Amino acid sequence: MEKTLTEMAAEITMAQATNTSMSVEEMKIFLTRTFDTLKNLKDIEENVSEQLPEESTVPAIDPKRSILKNKVICLECGKEFKILTNRHLEEHNMGSKEYRQKYGFKTKQPLAAKSLSDKRREVAKKHKLGDRLQQKKKEALQRKAKKKTPKPEVKKPTPTKTILRKAAPVKE
């Protein structure tokens, strides 16, 4: 009797969990990935797999769950990082802006682990970077406003005609 893909994926996941410590969420992700991999292998063996366009590929996990406390999972390749850099995203022929658009992240969402973002936030608050930024913005707006306000025209006095006279000879 042949085992189903679900049974094989469960066995592989249990074997992995006995060798390494995994959280429940990590086990779910591993189980899903293992099942998908086994399914792909089965399709290849049966010559059933068809090439799908790259845009229609479904990520291995939900994009909202890809940013975890201590790691970020790339939705293109499934690798785990502390921060998703532009260098890594270039391997997938995209930038961070395109990655955010493709998977529905907000433009200001950092592509970094939550613990790293929290540390950066604490340092920024400690050094009052937000206050400094707001102050610089206000100063820039004030400078811009001064440049735009029209100055009242002041009439310049018309220059008077100066007459050049010959100097009188100096007597010794």
pLDDT tens-digit series, residues 87-143? 999 999 999 999 999 888 898 888 999 999 899 999 999 998 888 889 999 999 998
pTM summary value: 0.45
* Pairing assessment for the beta strands 80-81 and 72-73 based on DSSP bridges: antiparallel
Q: Are 111 and 67 in contact (CB under 8 A)?
A: yes
Nearest Cα residue to 105 out of 57, 70, 73: 73
- Distance from C-alpha of 25 to C-alpha of 71, rounded to nearest angstrom: 13
Query: Domains of the chain: which residue ranges?
Result: 1-50, 118-145
Residue 163: C-alpha distances to residues 13, 167, 172 (Å): 104, 12, 27
Nearest Cα residue to 110 out of 76, 72, 78: 72
